[in-house]
Amino acid sequence: MAKDPVCGTRIDEQNAMQFGLTTEHLKHTFCFCSVKCKARFDEEPGAFAEQFNEWEEWDIPDHAWNPE
Ligand SMILES: [Zn+2]
């Protein structure tokens, strides 16, 4: 699953790619839930990409979190 950096919706990368709702920014492929979100990101990719990085940190996969 990927996260739409504009609205935070969880989306399937495959779906996003199929509908052309992806944008490459700083070597990362961002996926979007709609053309609206993609357009907003494309207007100001820096601002959204910055937020997205924070989300990524919160979004640590279960297998990476193993305190025991
Ligand atoms: Zn969206």
Q: Tell me: pLDDT of 62 over 70.
A: no
CB-based contacts of 53, cutoff 8 Å, min separation 6: none
Ordered by start, the domain boundaries in the chain are: 2-58
How far from the centroid of its chain's Cα atoms is residue 62's Cα? 18
Alpha carbon of 4 to ligand 1 centroid (Å): 5
pLDDT, tens only, 21-30? 999 998 888 9
pLDDT, tens only, 1-41? 888 999 988 899 999 999 999 999 988 889 999 999 999 99
User: Is residue 51 classed as helix, strand or coil in its secondary structure?
Assistant: helix
Contact of 34 with 65, CB cutoff 8 Å = no
Alpha carbon of 66 to ligand 1 centroid (Å): 31
